[in-house]
Structure 1
Amino acid sequence: MTHKLVLDLIAQARRQEAQQGLFSQAMAARLAEVQLVADITHADPVSCLVRFVEDYVELAPQLLECIQTSAAKIGRAALFSPFLDAAYGAFSRPSILLARFDGLDALLVKAYLCHRLMEEMHENNRSIRNANLVNSGAAHANILAHHLIGEPFANELDNATLITVHQLMSSPAYYDLNLAKFAEEIRDAAGEVMRHRLETLLTRNQIVFRFSYPGSLS
């Protein structure tokens, strides 16, 4: 799975959406639920959600490429390979559960699995997490994607992610593994650009996440 292939998939989904408009209809149906967690400052909130999803999908392979390059530079390619294979597999080897999804709807689910897996990888190692490689913007983007997918299916995807992470981290030693060099490598010029794009994913699309909303843990 390459970045170009994902862009081709997005272009194909856009053409399909222009003809059918089914994803925009789905986003319109989700709008009331989305507004429980975020404010959309644009006059056309549905178009903002569609653009957010397109950006969210496009960033997934870019994030994986950044992680893959950084891991290789510090000689840790083998360590991160299982995570990357699982994340790429969300696009290239989708579960049969996704058979009923199509177009941007399917790409959103695949990208969500990819982003959530990387989020768990980040959170389950002390040195990576303490490096603060990403701020709350990335987590908020995943929460918004969760709402756009809708429950209970989004919860099933979260559970599948946790199971995958548990299988990949067969040893609890992963949490205490010193990966500070990896964190430093991520902070190179390309990494900083990627972090900025991920952290501003919502604001670029005129979506403002609420820090407190019904059902939140805060």
Structure 2
Amino acid sequence: MDTVNIRQAIAAARAHENTTSQLALLLKVRANSLHHSVQLPPQNIVPALLNFIIHYIDQVPEFIDAVDTIADECDITDYTEPVMSIAKEFFIQPPSLIEGHEGLNALMDESYLAHRLIEEVNDRFMSCYNTPLVPMDMTRSNLIIHHLIGEPFANQLDQAVHLITDNLQSRDLVFVPDACKEDRSHRWANDLQRWPCLVDNLSINLLLNGQSARIIIH
């Protein structure tokens, strides 16, 4: 399964948004209740949020293509494929949790599941082997999307990711020590240059102000 179907779903959702402005209307409401750590621009708030979400969604197929290529070159496909297959499946057959959501709103949920799955797998891989499975960190963007989706639903999506990761770990589908013996960090710097989608650079800066952190969207 390649990413063609995912890209087609994204194109259809963008066309749906152009016709209905469904997500833009939701964002107009949600922007007023966002967590104080998310600092919004003084003007054009909804377009800025919508642009951020679209880029966040677009990164999923780009990221899957990048990981598939890197994994093939590094001979670790056996360990990345189970994770990537689930990430693709979020789009092809969305979980029942997302039923009733349409267009970009649904794809925001599906993209959050995909990005959070990678984040969770990488976190557990780091704790076991001191190296991530794949060279990607979308933690900051995931945090913003969590706030945009809103609680408690975003927490339900997080719980679904935890259950999936637990299942992968219990079946030894990705957490296999032999897969981690090779230090791939020396080549990942080049991979990040080849695949910019692996870097969390969606016009976001994390600024530390004392003990509080603010995420600024430009």
CA RMSD, aligned part only?
2.9
Who is 1:147 aligned against? 147
Aligned-partner SS, 1:151: coil
- Change in Cα spacing, 1:28 to 1:197, as seen in structure 2 (3 Å) is farther
Structure with the bigger percentage of helix? 1
Q: How far has the Cα of 1:176 moved from its partner?
A: 5.5
Which string of whole-angstrom CA distances, capped at 9 and with x for unpartnered residues, describes residues 139-158 of structure 1?
11001111111111110110
Aligned-partner SS, 1:188: helix
Q: How far has the Cα of 1:20 moved from its partner?
A: 1.6
Gaps of 5+ in 1: none
- Change in Cα spacing, 1:197 to 1:43, as seen in structure 2 (3 Å) is farther
Who is 1:202 aligned against? 203
- Say yes or no: does 1:52 pair with 2:55: no
How far, CA to CA, are the matches of 1:125 and 1:12 in structure 2? 35
- Change in Cα spacing, 1:179 to 1:187, as seen in structure 2 (3 Å) is farther
Aligned-partner SS, 2:175: helix
Letter in 1 for 2:48: C
Letter in 2 for 1:28: K
Who is 2:189 aligned against? 187
Aligned-partner SS, 2:203: helix
Greater alpha carbon shift after TM alignment, 155-164 vs 32-41: 32-41
Letter in 1 for 2:190: D
How far, CA to CA, are the matches of 2:118 and 2:97 in structure 1? 21
Which string of whole-angstrom CA distances, capped at 9 and with x for unpartnered residues, describes residues 7-60 of structure 1?
332332222222221210101111123351222236201101101111001101
1:116–1:142: 8 Å Cα contact kept in structure 2?
Answer: yes
Q: TM-score, normalized by length of structure 2?
A: 0.81
Aligned-partner SS, 1:174: coil
Identity %: 23
How far, CA to CA, are the matches of 2:82 and 2:136 in structure 1? 21
Using CA pairs below 8 Å that are at least 6 residues apart, which structure has the higher relative contact order? 1
- Change in Cα spacing, 1:24 to 1:173, as seen in structure 2 (3 Å) is closer
Q: After the TM superposition, list the runs of 4 or more consecutive aligned residues in structure 1 that deviate by more than 6 angstroms.
A: none
Gaps of 5+ in 2: none
Aligned-partner SS, 2:39: strand
